[in-house]
Amino acid sequence: MRVTAIIPARGGSKGIPLKNIEPVGGVPLIARAVRSCLAAEGVTETVVSTDHPAIAAAARAAGARVLERPADLGGDTVSSEAVLLQALDTLEAAGELPDVTVFVQCTSPFIDPADLDAAVARVTGDEADSVFSAVPTHAFLWARRPEGARGVNHIHTHRPRRQDREPHYRETGAFYVVDTAGFRSHGHRFFGRIDLCEVPELHAFEIDTPDDLRLARALAPVAAPETAPVDIDALVTDFDGVHTDDRVTVSQDGTEAVSVSRSDGMGVRLLREAGVRVHILSTEVNPVVRARADKLGVTVLHGLSDKRAALAAWLSEEGLDPSRVAYLGNDVNDLGCMSLVGWPVAVPDAHPDVLAAARLVLTRPGGSGAVRELCEHVLDFRARSAGHDSPTDESNEKDAT
């Protein structure tokens, strides 16, 4: 059966301008939704309906097919059903009308592909006509009435224990799976045999406000940790707080010294031997940065006032695809560089804004093997792709460099 996921993503969001391309876990919301659909085995095609070129570009980059949405369907009063029906009309005109339609909203950043598959299976298996994502709740709901607050799903004079109550279910808004013919006939996502697909509380998060967006970014490492292989051609790093623990020892004559991890040296060596370029960018003027880079055998630019511009120039000079580059940082002056690459990475004790922008958050702090950990992510993927074990040489840095 043809099962098409349709992701409506307009550009006119007012609460959070261009919300659908805001990053969560270093990945734009639209790309997160597309990736979930592409990873679902039961979905045969993923389509994004949008009226904005930046959203369209991000959707295509993530692997989706893009349908241009008419201008009259771009307003905030237009129903999702109207957008879906227009997209289905377009697909029908191309001879590609699906048997089952999966309506996915990218404002839900933590959609599990397995949940999509479970919901799709109920419709394709003729167990239901309409299935939606929901989370169980035992909350006591209340409503304000003229006579005062009153219980909605309970009698306020009776407070049974949680284990003695059947749960209610809250619609998450993440996804809906419908029989296409039935949906087009009824013009609404709920019809016929309606069922729900229970999802975990962590996957039920929905973004409507700036506060929701900040919270989603904080939740990303827990709710949807990055599992994609770190497949890159180059690694660019900050220095202080990444190669070091962000502390400096100052002697009485003003000489500064920093501490680094020897294990980072071996990781960098193995990465270079695997053909991955390594580059250091830093605002620090101290010559220790260049000394460390020389020790590692990597290129470096330091004493920079604009790291983002320096990175953009280096990527252009080297002819590198930014989507295949990782940048490892720890502080707010790294955010510009992180926004340029496909793999923004942070150390675990990074600034909250950096953690929010990161696609991958490491477990080892700067100066304690953070660079080595990221190198291992890259090397492990390359080893698996080549069909052999990853490097396990534990030689010290003197041997490595």
> Per-residue b/e over 312-338, b at no fewer than 16 CB within 10 Å?
eebbeeeebebeebbbbbbbebbbbbb
pLDDT in tens, 245-273: 999 888 888 888 899 999 999 999 999 99
User: What is the arithmetic mean of pLDDT over 155-175?
Assistant: 91
| CB burial of residue 147 (10 Å; 0-12, 13-18, 19+) | exposed
The reported pLDDT for the residue numbered 106 is 94
The reported pLDDT for the residue numbered 230 is 92
Distance (Å, rounded) from C-alpha 185 to C-alpha 129?
12
Question: Considering only CA atoms, which of 155, 131, 110 is closest in space to residue 3?
Answer: 131
DSSP states of 205-240: ----SHHHHHHHHHHHHHHS---S----SEEEE-ST
pLDDT in tens, 72-126: 887 878 899 999 999 999 999 999 999 999 999 999 999 999 999 999 999 999 9
The reported pLDDT for the residue numbered 400 is 42
Confidence of residue 396 (pLDDT cuts 50, 70, 90): very low
pLDDT in tens, 335-359: 999 999 999 999 999 998 898 889 9
pLDDT at 165 over 60: yes
Taking the alpha carbons of 14, 199, 66, 55 in that order, is the dihedral positive or negative?
positive
If residue 270 lies in a helix (H) or strand (E), which one and from where to where? helix 262-273
The reported pLDDT for the residue numbered 26 is 84
DSSP 8-state secondary structure symbol assigned to residue 260: B
pLDDT at 143 over 60: yes
> Is residue 24 a contact partner of residue 213, using CB atoms and an 8 Å limit?
yes
Helix (H, G, I), strand (E, B) or coil at 295: helix
The reported pLDDT for the residue numbered 111 is 96
Q: Which of 64-78, 233-247, 277-291, 328-342 has the lowest mean pLDDT?
A: 64-78
pLDDT at 391 over 90: no
User: What is the arithmetic mean of pLDDT over 221-227?
Assistant: 77
pLDDT in tens, 365-384: 999 999 999 999 999 998 88
pLDDT at 394 over 50: no
205 token code pair: 């998060």
Average pLDDT in the chain: 92
Distance (Å, rounded) from C-alpha 274 to C-alpha 266?
12
The reported pLDDT for the residue numbered 388 is 64
Helices (H), 63-175: 80-93, 113-124
The reported pLDDT for the residue numbered 255 is 83
pLDDT in tens, 188-197: 999 999 999 9
Question: Considering only CA atoms, which of 219, 5, 231, 27 is closest in space to residue 119?
Answer: 5
Task: Report if pTM > 0.85.
Answer: no
Q: How big is the CA angle at 353 (ends 351 and 356), to the nearest 5 degrees? A: 110
pLDDT in tens, 210-222: 999 999 988 888 8
Distance (Å, rounded) from C-alpha 239 to C-alpha 278?
12
> Is residue 109 a contact partner of residue 91, using CB atoms and an 8 Å limit?
no
pLDDT at 225 over 80: no
The reported pLDDT for the residue numbered 123 is 98
Which domains does the chain show, CATH number per domain? 3-223 (3.90.550.10), 234-400 (3.40.50.1000)
- Paired with 104 in beta bridges are 175
User: What is the arithmetic mean of pLDDT over 21-33?
Assistant: 92
